[in-house]
């Protein structure tokens, strides 16, 4: 079950964190994985891990906020692998601030990556998928799509847009055999979290890590591999009856 043999997958932001976990798991399950990342070196490192484990991958530098960059990367994937069956829109950035403390530049930066990036990749993705009979799209939203989080105004805005883009894509392409779902994680322990704590709370990293962990009623942050496992199911043929759905993976946040 949950094999992806014969499928070609694109994972944006695949150079680290959740994207790395999804890329390597999909390859392990038989997919040929195109790893797209703003940093070519990071994408290449993920592909090296895939190939070391006997999988097939290819690295592509891509700025998801730029149409020309997206077109170039997707064209490269199609030229190399000949098709596209799975698209994971994982690339994203974070921001801390309320509506009062968020600058216009902050807002535009979050929008360009988290919203426009998903738009551009999905637009190109559905075009490519239709050539070979359809596929599956998975967007990385957030529990910020579903509830209000303190000091996450711009980030919450962007992830709310990801949720509604998921629903619209599911409705518009249902009859063309393209499914679209999203996952809504709470805090996941990635290198980004460690970097954020080091930058924002120097000398108090352990204290703040514990505080952020306890936000999840289950008592810890999630792991990238746990998000990857859910992503694998939703992009596999076993989930062929699921589209237009949002799946929390939140350690009990929404039920507390």
Closest CA to 57 of 35, 73, 29: 35
C-alpha R_g of the chain: 17
* 255 contacts: CB under 8 Å, gap ≥ 6: 217
Residue pair 26/233 in contact (Cβ under 8 Å)? The answer is no
Determine whether 155 is an active site residue: yes
Question: Which one of 20, 111, 155, 215 is the catalytic residue?
Answer: 155
Instruction: Please compute, for residue 231, the number of CA atoms within 13 A of its CA located in the half-sphere on the CB side.
Output: 32
Residue pair 35/43 in contact (Cβ under 8 Å)? The answer is yes
Residue pair 136/231 in contact (Cβ under 8 Å)? The answer is no
3-state secondary structure of 25: helix
Q: Catalytic amino acids?
A: 155
């Amino acid at each position: 079950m949950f094999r992806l043999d014969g499928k070609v997958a694109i994972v944006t932001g695949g150079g680290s964190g959740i994207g790395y976990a999804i890329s390597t798991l999909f390859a392990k399950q038989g997919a040929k994985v195109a790893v797209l990342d703003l940093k070519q070196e990071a994408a290449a490192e993920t592909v090296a891990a895939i190939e070391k484990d006997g999988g097939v991958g290819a690295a592509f530098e891509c700025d998801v906020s730029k149409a020309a960059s997206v077109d170039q990367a997707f064209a490269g994937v199609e030229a190399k692998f000949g098709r596209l069956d799975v698209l994971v829109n994982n690339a994203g950035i974070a921001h801390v601030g309320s509506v009062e403390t968020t600058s216009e530049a902050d807002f535009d930066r979050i929008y360009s990556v988290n919203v426009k990036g998903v738009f551009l990749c999905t637009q190109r993705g559905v075009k490519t998928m239709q050539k070979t009979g359809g596929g599956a799209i998975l967007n990385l939203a957030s529990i910020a799509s579903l509830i209000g989080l303190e000091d996450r105004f711009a980030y919450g805005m962007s992830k709310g847009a990801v949720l509604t883009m998921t629903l619209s894509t599911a409705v518009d392409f249902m009859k063309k055999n393209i499914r679209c779902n999203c996952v809504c994680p709470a805090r996941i322990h990635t290198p980004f979290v460690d970097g954020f704590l080091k930058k924002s709370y120097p000398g108090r990293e352990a204290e703040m890590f514990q505080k952020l962990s306890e936000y999840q009623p289950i008592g810890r942050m999630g792991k990238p591999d746990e998000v990857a496992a859910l992503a694998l199911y939703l992009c596999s043929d076993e989930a062929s009856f699921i589209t237009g759905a949002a799946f929390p993976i939140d350690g009990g946040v929404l039920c507390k």
